[in-house]
Structure 1
Amino acid sequence: MPQFDPASFVSQLFWFGVIFTLLYFAVVRPTLPKVGKVIDAREAQVGGDLDRAEAAKGAADTLRADHETAMKAARDAAQAAVAQARETAAKASDAQLKALGARLDADAEAAAASLELALGSARAGLETTVAELTSEAVAKLVGIEITPADVSAAIAAR
């Protein structure tokens, strides 16, 4: 193999330098600035994307904070409305209970008065009936005529 011959090392090194220089100037030199521009453009795009992402994150954080504040205010308002409704319902319930209690008390008093009247009427009827039956019984058993008024007077005297 001729490339391993030490006598041809100098000519191989010479041609290596010439080919390298030609390739460097023919390929690398024209393309290196283009690659640099692409890298710079990509860095600028990535930087811009990061800046926009940071701005979007800040806006999202602001929106989230506003949303949480609005939700807290809405929760507080709802709790206040529920408390107010409970208080109103409790007052209405107390008023209805008082009205119902008053009506029941009035009904109970009316029923007691009606019962007392019925009891008085029943007692009066019972006394009249007892007096009549007693006068008839005495007349049949003993043969003495006693009026129901005399029997009522005797019962009242006791």
Structure 2
Amino acid sequence: MPQFDPANFVSQLFWFGVIFMLLYFFVVRPTLPKVGKVIDAREAQVAGDLDRAEAATGAANTLRGDHETAMKTARDAAQTSVAQAREAAAKTADVQLKALGVRLDADADAAAASLDLALGSARAGLQSTVAELTSEAIAKLTGIEITPADVSAALTLR
């Protein structure tokens, strides 16, 4: 193989150097700054994206904190409203129960008075009926005429 012949080494090294220099100056050297700029631009873009992501995370955390605070405030306000509504309902129920108790007591007193009146009227009616029936029975059995007033007077004496 000719490339391994030591007599050809000098010419091979010369052409290797010439081609290396050509490739370096015409291909690598012009493209290397462009690649560097692209790498720098990508690094800047990634850093900007990371900064925006951190800012968005901070904003999201702030919003979450605000939301939690608002929810706690709303929950506390709702619990306060429910407690006030319960108290108002309990007070209204107590007032209504007291009014109902007073009304029922008045109705019971009126019913008792009406019952006493009806009982007194029934007793009076019963007394007059007993007096009349007794005077008629005495008149039929004995033939003696006694007025119902005399029978009532005799019955009340006992």
Scaled by the length of structure 2, what TM-score is found?
0.90
Alignment of 1:99-114 (within 5 A): 99-114=99-114
Counterpart of 2:152, as a letter, is S
User: Which position in structure 2 is the counterpart of 1:67?
Assistant: 67
Residue 13 (structure 1) shift: 4.1
Residue 105 (structure 1) shift: 0.4
Alignment of 1:1-158 (within 5 A): 2-3=2-3, 8=8, 10-158=10-158
Counterpart of 1:34, as a letter, is K
How far apart, in 2, do the equivalents of 1:81 and 1:70 lie? 16
Residue 87 (structure 1) shift: 0.7
**Gaps (5+ residues) in structure 2?**
none
How far apart, in 1, do the equivalents of 2:3 and 2:92 lie? 112
* Partner SS state of residue 19, structure 1: helix
Equivalences, count:
158
RMSD: 1.8
Residue 123 (structure 1) shift: 0.4
How far apart, in 1, do the equivalents of 2:6 and 2:128 lie? 164
User: Which stretch of the first structure deviates more once superposed, 106-115 or 21-30?
Assistant: 21-30
The sequence identity of aligned pairs, in percent, is 85
User: Which stretch of the first structure deviates more once superposed, 57-66 or 101-110?
Assistant: 57-66
Residue 16 (structure 1) shift: 2.9
* Partner SS state of residue 144, structure 1: coil
